[in-house]
Amino acid sequence: MGRLFGTDGVRGVAGDDLTGRLAMDLAIAAAEILHETGVFGRAQAEGRRPVAVVGRDPRASGEFLESAVVAGLAGAGVDVLRLGVIPTPAVAFLTAERSADLGVMLSASHNPAKDNGIKLFARGGFKLPDAAEDEIEARLGQPGTMVTRAPGGGFGRVSDDGDSRERYLTHLLASLPGGGPAGGPPLRGLRVVVDCAHGAASGVAPLLLRRAGAEVIAIGAEPDGENINDGCGSTHLDVLRAAVLERQADAGIAHDGDADRCLAVDASGQVIDGDQILAVLALGLKAAGRLARDTVVATVMSNLGFRLAMKDANVTVVETGVGDRYVLEAMRDGGYVLGGEQSGHIIMLEHATTGDGLLTALHLLAAVARERVPLAELANVMTRYPQVLVNVAGVDKARVASSPEVVAQVEAAKAELGRSGRILVRPSGTEPTVRVMVEAVDPDRARHLADRLASVIRSAS
């Protein structure tokens, strides 16, 4: 599998790449490393055992993986608070809100039901640093070094958190500044379709928007453990677009399986991507005097139109590699409050420590209600330039990266485009896939170049 931890935790086919044994060993190794680095020492100094919160999305495999993780943590002397089925950003929030020493989320995000993953959060709710992940992985590679005896402080106790969902919803609603039109609920007057991807958002997203005053039509909100992301959610927007048009809604919101993403659809069925959402939120914060240093953080995948819109608004764009952890790292280093990705991972650091799709949806829709203009008009703050994305799956990423032919063809394509576009070729952090992005004024030209490079990549692998 190469490096066990990708850009978003450990991910693989449940029962194959990601077994119950691996999940338990990861939990034990994480407990040991955090103990050795002094994190759990604070708990002992306070006269208590360390505490971990554990949540999951509704995949069938999450049930046995949750049991394995809980067993590993409790066996290593960690008290465990099970959160049940809940979004990833809720686990991050509750790690901080409950003063937990570790947070664990079992989810493969937008991946199909056969996959699953493990995401780890440090005290405070931020994703575990790369160095800590490296230490955990190194510990797994040393047979016989893992704890197999009862811990000195006793085994951890396991309990269920009955009000985790309510605490999270209260937190989200409190993030909105004041009421909506005429002092009423902030989303009063809006009809919204929300696609929950049959995932972790199913039990919370419709409830959140209703409490905020919207009329809500929920779709993709009947998880059965096998249908997560299946033809629905943020990676399959056609169903949402059709529902928005059929129900004459003001907007549609799409989440992925663990609800850390948000994409939108306007009343005419046009998709509003993460760049456009980020632009709307950035300009709203700037107008309110709350956009720190008049700067927003985005990735190399952000559309050229986003950069031009921010330049026109005198907003600086700090660019990072792809992955919300890198966006967050730049935000924390620079003291910025807003960042995100085209895919819909938006981080609002005043209110969350990770991408939060529900928080993003709430603030986007609140902007529509506050400005009293359609979502399409708000999204027109930027022009989206044609961008062709091709995922070349099932390839050897290392071989592609070292291929002289691939490098030469990429450089030739860049020279051909000149200043009229951009080309980005990068390996996926979570899948055996190389992603090709070509941006150009002429969409046919962008498609031709993307397909040409994808063919070269397939040949090189």
Query: 32 Cβ partners below 8 Å, 6+ apart?
Result: 76, 139, 146, 147
One-letter identity of residue 26: L
Burial of 40 from C-beta contacts in 10 A (0-12 / 13-18 / 19+): buried
The Cα 222–Cα 241 span in angstroms is 19
Looking at residue 231, its amino acid is: G
Whole-number Å distance between alpha carbons of 164 and 168: 6
Burial 72-101 (b: 16+ CB within 10 A, else e): bbbbbbbbbbbbbbbbbbbbbbbbbebebb
Cα distances (Å, whole numbers) of residue 459 to 161, 221, 237, 342, 396: 52, 41, 32, 29, 11
Give the gyration radius of the chain's Cα atoms: 22
Burial string for 284-318 (b: 16+ CB within 10 Å, else e) reads: bbbeeeebeeebbbbbebbbbbbbebbeebebebb
Element (H, E) at 266: strand 263-266
Q: Which of 61, 107, 109, 302 is catalytic?
A: 109
Q: Tell me the residue type at 84.
A: G
> Cβ–Cβ contacts within 10 Å for residue 369, how many?
22
How far apart are the C-alpha atoms of 10 and 1, rounded to whole Å? 10
Q: Which of 362, 338, 327, 324 is nearest to 290 (CA)?
A: 338
Measure CA 362 to chain center: 16
Q: What is the dihedral of CA 350, 354, 359, 365, to 10 degrees?
A: 90
| Residue 109 annotated among the catalytic residues of the structure | yes
What is the DSSP pairing of strand 115-122 with strand 102-106?
Answer: antiparallel
- Cite the active site residues: 109
